């Protein structure tokens, strides 16, 4: 009888605590809405940086926003598929330097800070985006 009571007590405690929920990076970024806020902030940050905005002079901003949202959603394990061009194709002929690339990363970090994204979450996203670096620099 004592074992049954203890088992019931443990079961009741587990139920009261609720299911353990593993969150994805997508969830930690705030899902679709959170990513949209980060992307809007990122585009805004780019628009104020005279050394970086020149790379976006001929860019369709609506499409950029859409593709960035898809890309961030996909790399963060969200329910999206990136349908844009490859990073190599997008950056072909731009001759982006390491310093310019690093500045864009800083602008993304600024946007995430303004959106209230925690630093560990920012680091996880940047870690997932980092493999794209060779596809962007000096293309």
Domain boundaries, the chain: 24-136
Instruction: Report which of 51, 62, 56 is spatially closest to residue 99, judged by C-alpha positions.
Output: 51
pLDDT value at 24 more than 50: yes
Mean pLDDT of the chain: 88
Q: What is the pLDDT of residues 43-93, one digit of tens each?
A: 999 999 999 999 999 999 999 999 999 999 999 999 999 999 999 999 999
Distances (CA, A) of 23 to 26, 27, 37, 42, 119: 8, 6, 19, 24, 16
The correct CATH number of 24-136 out of 1.10.3720.10, 3.30.420.40, 3.40.50.1980, 1.10.490.10 is 1.10.490.10
Q: pLDDT tens digits, residue range 62-75?
A: 999 999 999 999 99
Which residue shows structure tokens 């996880």?
Answer: 124
């Amino acid at each position: 009888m004592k074992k049954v009571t203890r088992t019931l007590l443990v079961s009741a405690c587990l139920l009261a605590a609720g299911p353990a929920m593993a969150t994805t990076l997508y969830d930690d970024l705030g899902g679709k809405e959170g990513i949209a806020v980060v992307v809007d902030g990122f585009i805004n940050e780019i628009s104020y940086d005279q050394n970086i905005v020149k790379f976006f002079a001929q860019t369709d901003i609506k499409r950029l926003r859409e593709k960035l949202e898809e890309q961030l959603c996909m790399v963060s394990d969200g329910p999206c598929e990136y349908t844009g061009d490859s990073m190599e194709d997008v950056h072909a002929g731009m001759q982006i330097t390491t310093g310019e690339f690093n500045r864009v990363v800083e602008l993304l970090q600024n946007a995430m800070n303004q959106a209230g994204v925690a630093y560990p979450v920012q680091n996880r996203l940047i870690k997932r985006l980092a493999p794209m670096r060779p596809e962007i620099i000096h293309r």
